Structure 1
Amino acid sequence: MAKYQIATIEGDGIGPEVCQSAVTVLQETCGAGVLDFNQYPGGATHYVRSGFVLPEDTFQACRDSHAIFHGAAGMPDVTYPDGTEVGNDLHLQLRFKLDLYANVRPIRLYQGDFSPLKNRASGEIDYVIVRENTEGLYASRGAGVSLRGEVVTDTLVMTRKGIERVARFAFDLSRKRNGAPRDGKRRLTVCDKANILRSYAFFRSVCDEVSKDYPDVEIDYAYADAITVHMVKKPDFYDVIVAENMFGDIISDLGAATVGGMGIAPSGEVGDTHGLFQGAHGSAPDIAGQNIASPLATVLSGALMLRWLSDRHSDSSLLASAQRVERAVEAMLSEKIAIPRDLGGNASCTDVTEAILKHLT
């Protein structure tokens, strides 16, 4: 039986709680000897103790392992001299050092009652946002100019290589899915501002070029402002959305809100050889250590990790395990057995974990 080494960084705030919950579920799902979760330090709390947010030993383990699993990072009061939060630097360093160019954010409505949108049924919202993860406006991180406290600039950077590879990733992802809930069509929506800025016009043109290699996937376009309306009015139209870094960051949070919030939003940051998986939410230090945090986003991120490992290593058993986890979450939520606080219930982190385990089939 294959054995996969998973570099695990529990991180800050609720990170240890939700990470431990997810590890319990994943190990139960996959069985003994399949996943080996190895703990390594990192994050804002570790920075306070050691001066390092990402120690070299931790980075080497992340580089050499089959995948990286992360709880949460960041403490609002732990900042660098420029005011930016230390914790965010953990996954940012990993993102750029390991070239994790595709940020994958599945948006799925597991239970209709959790959506603020009227008359939406379970499964009616089911799409993935693919955010270009290493270029765009965020490439200026730490490199912008502040002149005399009067003028500041940040530069938006796009390259043909960067756009082409994330577009191919998004098209390939659409081919693996069952199409949009509304009509079953495999569809890639390009989110940009091509009507205003040359950089986004270039983004769209490269996506158009790549689309010629995917005649079985329909290509669609939406300006970043308009898509915020469409994601609310017709979310069932979408299959896969691809966007520049900042736009992808913004619309993925909106998408999460339409299915219940950040507490049920998984994410993966992947490249050609490495993958980092964590819930899309923050570290919520105000509720840390109280056993009230929801582990759902982290558990679903674990399922996303299994899917990625399955593709990368042609291991169908991992795909089956990922599907078991997702079915268990959906069954538990549909039966309203253990609803966490952020979704309107009062179940503890432990309650949710136990309910998922009971529904594994």
Structure 2
Amino acid sequence: MTEYDIAVIPGDGIGPEVVEAAQAVLAECETRYGLTLNYTTYDFSADLYRRTGRKITAADMDEIGMRDAVLFGAMGLPDVRGPEGLELGAQVEMRAHYGLFSSLRPVRLFPGVDGPLKAEKVDMLVIRETSEGMFAGLADEHEPSDESASDRMTITRATSEKLFDVAFSQARARRKRGTPGHVTLLHKSNALRSNVLLEKVFDEVAARNADIGSAKYYIDAGSMYMVTDPGRYDVIVSENIFGDIVSEVAAGLVGGLGVAPSADVSLTHGVFQPSHGSAPDIAGQGIANPTAMILSAAMMLEWLGERRGDDLATRIAHAIQGAVESTLAIGPRARDLGGSAGTREVTDAVISALPPQVDSGRREHVAAAGR
């Protein structure tokens, strides 16, 4: 029997609602397919910090890290900030603590979902580096000032090599299911010294992966191409903050963040969460789109299946992805996709679309880092 211990961090705003939806889908998978998930829930929300001053610690993360994976809702409230003026977000601390250097953010224009472009097909994977880049100095000493402030961007060869190895591995895996098998670096080496090194390492890794096509664009031009010619992209890889921005642009091409899952992974740890934020303005209304969270849960099972050589977990992940695709194609659809369905209605539809049994015929979606 497939059994995993999962840490659950619901977070703030709509986070608990979409996590509950994903767990409902996973519960049905447990019943139908012989999967066992043991959950331990942790509260490190911004709301907890507001009430108690408590935030996630290294000891907390050591404990969480003993679980097989982390299912993360959404965290942060605009009016709750730490002493340095930044919003609370345990996921940032976890990225540093676990060395989660790679955030995998697949986007695809599903049948039944209207995108803002004329393009009939959008299918890309944005890989955002998440342990350094423009976020490297978050733990630096900071003297508050109303006159000046600075952040630092740091790029290292070691992390860049791992990141690009993942990018080319992902492109190779995606090619097996019909994508071009191509990696594009978005960078700014014409103006940033750190990105000169980033580009140099990319060229070296690309040369070692000559079977996979590659390209490089400056981040400004590359962002323009995303909306004028999205078909040129298969796998996109970029520095931390550039990747954060372009992944949300990519999500906008396929219906928005409500259908955009993500996985922050290293070779040993994985945190799975939707790309959207906590959306406190709609929290508690039962109208949040759970699709991205459900797809993130599927990515979690696929990652676990890859790491453990567990074919059942992989097949269940594909079954969930297929159920989501069917639901998006025929409805009901959430409000952010032009429909009128609430969170529960969409969740129930995905559960109803799950097959009675899982088979091995589904195509691969997103492979684990380090394949």
Shorter-chain TM range is over 0.9
- Partner residue of 1:116? 116
Contact 1:138 1:245 in 2 (8 A): yes
- Match of residue 148, structure 2, among 142, 148, 151: 151
- Match of residue 340, structure 2, among 337, 340, 346: 346
- Partner residue of 2:77? 75
Do the aligned partners of residues 144 and 186 (structure 1) sit closer, same or farther apart at CA in structure 2, a change above 3 Å counting? farther
Q: In the alignment, does 2:29 pair up with 1:29? A: yes
- Match of residue 50, structure 2, among 44, 48, 51: 48
- Match of residue 132, structure 2, among 131, 135, 142: 135
| Other structure's SS at 1:114 match | coil
In the superposition, the TM-score normalised over structure 2's length comes to 0.91
Q: In the alignment, does 2:326 pair up with 1:331? A: yes
Alignment of 1:113-262 (within 5 A): 113-118=113-118, 120-121=119-120, 124-143=121-140, 148-178=145-175, 184-262=179-257
Contact 1:144 1:154 in 2 (8 A): no
Do the aligned partners of residues 152 and 57 (structure 1) sit closer, same or farther apart at CA in structure 2, a change above 3 Å counting? closer
How far does residue 145 in structure 1 lie from its aligned partner after superposition? Answer: 5.3
Amino acid at match of 2:25: V
Amino acid at match of 1:175: R
Amino acid at match of 1:310: G
Contact 1:164 1:206 in 2 (8 A): yes
Unaligned residue ranges in structure 2 (runs of 5+): 356-371
Contact 2:45 2:75 in 1 (8 A): yes
In the superposition, the TM-score normalised over structure 1's length comes to 0.93
| Other structure's SS at 2:79 match | coil
Contact 2:61 2:97 in 1 (8 A): no
Contact 1:7 1:61 in 2 (8 A): no
Q: In the alignment, does 2:303 pair up with 1:308? A: yes
Structural RMSD (CA): 1.8
How far does residue 203 in structure 1 lie from its aligned partner after superposition? Answer: 0.5
How far does residue 141 in structure 1 lie from its aligned partner after superposition? Answer: 1.7
Amino acid at match of 2:354: L
How far does residue 34 in structure 1 lie from its aligned partner after superposition? Answer: 2.4
Q: Deviations over 1:320-348 (max 9, x none)?
A: 1111111111111111x211011111101
User: Which portions of structure 1, spanning 4 or more consecutive aligned residues, are displaced by more than 6 angstroms?
Assistant: none
How far does residue 102 in structure 1 lie from its aligned partner after superposition? Answer: 0.3
Do the aligned partners of residues 270 and 58 (structure 1) sit closer, same or farther apart at CA in structure 2, a change above 3 Å counting? same
Unaligned residue ranges in structure 1 (runs of 5+): none
- Partner residue of 1:281? 276
- Partner residue of 1:358? 352
How far does residue 354 in structure 1 lie from its aligned partner after superposition? Answer: 0.4
| Other structure's SS at 1:45 match | helix
- Partner residue of 1:16? 16
Q: In the alignment, does 2:97 pair up with 1:97? A: yes
Distance in 1, matches of 2:57 and 2:137, equals: 23
Contact 1:41 1:58 in 2 (8 A): no
- Partner residue of 1:291? 286
Distance in 2, matches of 1:193 and 1:56, equals: 34
Amino acid at match of 1:308: W
Do the aligned partners of residues 266 and 113 (structure 1) sit closer, same or farther apart at CA in structure 2, a change above 3 Å counting? closer
Contact 1:144 1:153 in 2 (8 A): no
Moved more, 193-202 or 218-227: 193-202
- Partner residue of 1:84? 86
Contact 1:145 1:154 in 2 (8 A): no
Distance in 2, matches of 1:253 and 1:343, equals: 16
Contact 1:263 1:295 in 2 (8 A): yes
Q: Deviations over 1:105-128 (max 9, x none)?
A: 11111135420012x33xx21111
| Other structure's SS at 2:96 match | helix
Amino acid at match of 1:42: F
| Other structure's SS at 2:70 match | strand
Do the aligned partners of residues 197 and 161 (structure 1) sit closer, same or farther apart at CA in structure 2, a change above 3 Å counting? same
- Partner residue of 2:359? none
Q: In the alignment, does 2:41 pair up with 1:39? A: yes
How far does residue 142 in structure 1 lie from its aligned partner after superposition? Answer: 4.3
Distance in 1, matches of 2:263 and 2:156, equals: 22
Distance in 1, matches of 2:112 and 2:189, equals: 34
Distance in 2, matches of 1:160 and 1:347, equals: 47
Contact 2:58 2:97 in 1 (8 A): no
Do the aligned partners of residues 328 and 147 (structure 1) sit closer, same or farther apart at CA in structure 2, a change above 3 Å counting? closer
Distance in 1, matches of 2:344 and 2:166, equals: 36
Distance in 1, matches of 2:12 and 2:144, equals: 34
- Partner residue of 2:366? none
Distance in 1, matches of 2:280 and 2:59, equals: 26
How far does residue 45 in structure 1 lie from its aligned partner after superposition? Answer: 1.6
Contact 1:143 1:154 in 2 (8 A): no
